[in-house]
């Protein structure tokens, strides 16, 4: 089955700890994206990548980092510099220009 997987589904961390969220796709999509969703708000773009070994900051990249070493994988690290990391994180991928983005099931991160 083709699709996007994110793990874990729920993640709990203490303040001051870095945490890495996984995103894997087997759709052979070139472009991948990370969004953050807070209650009552739309999705906000954190980082995006169009090809392997290249990525760009989105609208709210501060306190986050990514890597794109493989086409299938686009992990997101939430660092201790992110002031308000508790949120729902969604990964997406896109086949190419003119195509819609497909979303993974998301990871809900809680930092206390």
Q: Provide the binding-site residues for another protein, judged by CB under 8 A.
A: 4, 31, 33, 35, 40-45, 48, 50, 56, 58, 90, 94, 97, 99-106
What tokens does 9 get? 């589904």
Q: Exposed/middle/buried for 70, CB within 10 Å: 0-12, 13-18, 19+? A: exposed
Q: Given the complex with another protein, which of 55 and 111 has the nearer CB atom?
A: 55
Q: Please tell me the distance from the alpha carbon of residue 71 to that of residue 69, in angstroms, as a whole number.
A: 7
The nearest distance, CB 16 to another protein, in angstroms, is 28
The nearest distance, CB 108 to another protein, in angstroms, is 9
Q: Given the complex with another protein, which of 73 and 80 has the nearer CB atom?
A: 73
Q: Could you identify the residue written with the tokens 């994180």?
A: 89
């Amino acid at each position: 089955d083709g699709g996007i997987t994110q793990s874990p589904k729920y993640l709990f961390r203490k303040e001051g700890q870095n945490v890495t969220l996984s995103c894997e796709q087997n759709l052979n999509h070139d472009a991948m994206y990370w969004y953050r969703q807070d209650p009552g708000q739309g999705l906000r773009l954190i980082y995006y990548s169009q090809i392997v070994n290249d990525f760009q900051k989105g609208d709210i990249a501060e306190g986050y980092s990514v890597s794109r070493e493989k086409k299938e994988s686009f992990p997101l690290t939430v660092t201790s510099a992110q002031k308000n990391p508790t949120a729902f994180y969604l990964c997406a991928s896109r086949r190419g220009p003119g195509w819609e983005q497909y979303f993974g099931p998301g990871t809900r991160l809680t930092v206390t």
